[in-house]
Structure 1
C-alpha cells in the first residue's frame, strides 16, 4: 500500500503537491490561532477551577467545606491534625483554616495544615 501511495504522490506535479500541503498548513494555523485567541479573550483556562469556602455549623462548633466548582472537594468537620475531636470556635475561625488549605492548593502543595499554621492564622479551636 505504501508503494501505491508513493507512486500516486510522485505522479502529481510538484506545484500541486506544494499547494495542497500549503493549504493544509494554512488551515491548521488559522484554526490554532482562532482557538487560542478566543480562550484568551474569554479569560478561560482549562486548568482553572473556582474554589469556594462554606463554613458549616456543627453541634459543638464549626467546620468547613471547600467546593471545586459545584462539587464538594474537601469536608472538614473537625480540626485536622489533632488527636481527639476538636472544632473551630467560630465561623471566622473555620474560614481562616479553609483559606490556608486553599492557599496550599494554589501553590501546588498538599492541603494538610498543622496546629502551628492554625495558630499563625489566628484560627481558634477547642
Structure 2
C-alpha cells in the first residue's frame, strides 16, 4: 500500500510561507515608523520640528545654544540642524546641539 503524502507537505509549506510573509510584513511596517523633520517659517527666519508617529516631539523656532533669540536665517540651516538632532536620537544620544556642532554645519549664527 502506497500513501501519497506530497499534498499534505505542500499545504504545510504554503501555510508556513504565508505565516513567514505576514511576520516579515509586520516587521517592515514597524520599521517605517521614523522620525520626520519639517521646517516652518517664523517671524524672523526659519525653525524646525521633529515628529514621531504623528506627534511633535521637538519644535525649535530659535537657534539653540546662542545668547540671541533669533531663528535660523535659511530653511537649509534649519533642516541641517534638524537632521543632526535626528541622527543623535537614532543613536540614543541626547538631542542637544553644541555651538561647535553648529559651526561645523556652517550654520550662520
Q: Alignment length, in residue pairs?
A: 91
CA RMSD of aligned residues (A): 2.1
1:124 and 2:105 are equivalent in the alignment? no
* 1:89/1:106 CA distance change after superposition, 3 Å: same
CA contact (8 A) 1:55 1:63 kept: yes
- Give the helix-richer structure, 1 or 2: 1
> In 2, distance between residues paired with 1:59 and 1:73?
22
The answer to whether structure 1 residue 99 and structure 2 residue 83 are counterparts is: yes
- Structure 1 residue 98 displacement after superposition: 0.2
**What TM-score, normalized by structure 2, do the two folds share?**
0.72
Structure 1 gaps of 5+ residues are: 1-33
Could you tell me how far apart the structure 2 residues matched to 1:56 and 1:88 are? Answer: 10
- Return structure 1 stretches of 4+ with deviation > 6 angstroms: none
Q: How far is the alpha carbon of 1:60 from its aligned partner? A: 0.8
Structure 2: any 5+ residue segments left out of the alignment? 1-18
- Tell me the equivalent position of 1:80: 64
Matched, 1:109 2:93: yes
**Greater RCO (Cα-Cα under 8 Å, separation 6 or more):** 2
Q: C-alpha deviations, 1:49-86, integer Å up to 9, x for none?
A: 32111111111111101111211110001011122302
Determine the C-alpha separation between the residues in 2 that align with 1:38 and 1:81.
47
Instruction: Provide TM-score, normalisation by structure 1.
Output: 0.63
What is the aligned partner in structure 2 of residue 60 from structure 1?
A: 44
